[in-house]
Amino acid sequence: MKQRDQSFDGITQKFSKSIYHTNKGRLRLAVLQRDLASWVPAATQERLPRVLDVGGGLGQLSMLFAAAGCEVTHTDISAEIVAQAQQLHAEHGLSERYCYEVAPLQQLPDCLTDQYDIVLCHAVLEWLAEPEAAIATLKQLLAPQGRLSLMFYNRDAKVLANIIFGNFDYVKADLTVKKTVRMSPQQPLEPGAVADWLAVQQLQVVAKTGVRCFHDYLRNQADQQRFDELLELELCYNQQPPFVDIGRYLHWQIIHA
């Protein structure tokens, strides 16, 4: 069966709760905020970067840039999620910094007339039928010397986690099952393949971070609730080998040279 892109219309509330209102989601957001803090312009900066958030969900991370005065274009394939993002941004008094587009990643070059200094694309590629083609599209949207923040679901980490928990048959079956879970990414990406796709587009990876290097491997689920301790460990180790490579997600900072 040919893989299709995933949308979350109709299950937005359930999806938002599972992603944003758990320690997994809080860890992810905190790590990204740490990684991208240096990208947020100072108040004295003469020209503010134009920011595009692709598949932005609730748009929590992009508020860092909006609060600094940047103009942010927020996009998502789901009209329901975009509506929730608008509400969140309004609650924080940031609506005037945003414009919104309901469209899949592949259609963005036709919907948007600008190129952007900063493009955010987090946890999107693993939901797409053709993630390699999406890299070329992201390059189209990126201005020369622009920066891309790319986070994707790490296939190596999924293999490791399933071996740790004894799911040997699932690993032997190449991580395939007959019945898929709609809110679980079905196409984790091999880091080596993503690196090759970026190289073809002459996009250079300048920094790497593992995201959730420890949380998902904890055998005692009660330990997953020790958020402050887990976050401290994440921020200490997740840019160091070998931990950087076993994050459930990988966050790569990329420049368009």
Binding-site annotation: residue ranges for S-adenosyl-L-methionine? 28, 55-56, 76, 122
Structure tokens at 133: 């083609």
- Helix intervals (H) in the chain: 12-20, 23-36, 63-67, 79-91, 108-111, 131-141, 155-164, 168-172, 191-200, 227-237
The residues, ordered by sequence, that sit 6+ positions from 172 with a Cβ below 8 Å of its Cβ are none
Q: Amino acid letter at 21?
A: H
Residues comprising the chain, all counted? 257
Structure tokens at 111: 């919907």
Q: Is 50:100 a contact under the CB 8 Å cutoff?
A: no
Q: How many CB atoms lie within 10 A of CB 38?
A: 8
The residues, ordered by sequence, that sit 6+ positions from 15 with a Cβ below 8 Å of its Cβ are 8, 81, 183
Kindly report the three-state secondary structure assignment for every residue of 68-93. CCCCEEEEECCHHHHHHHHHHHHHCC
d(C-alpha 139, C-alpha 201), whole Å: 7
Structure tokens at 96: 């005037």
Annotated binding-site positions: 28, 55-56, 76, 122
Q: With residue 145 as reference, give the H or E element that holds it.
A: strand 142-153
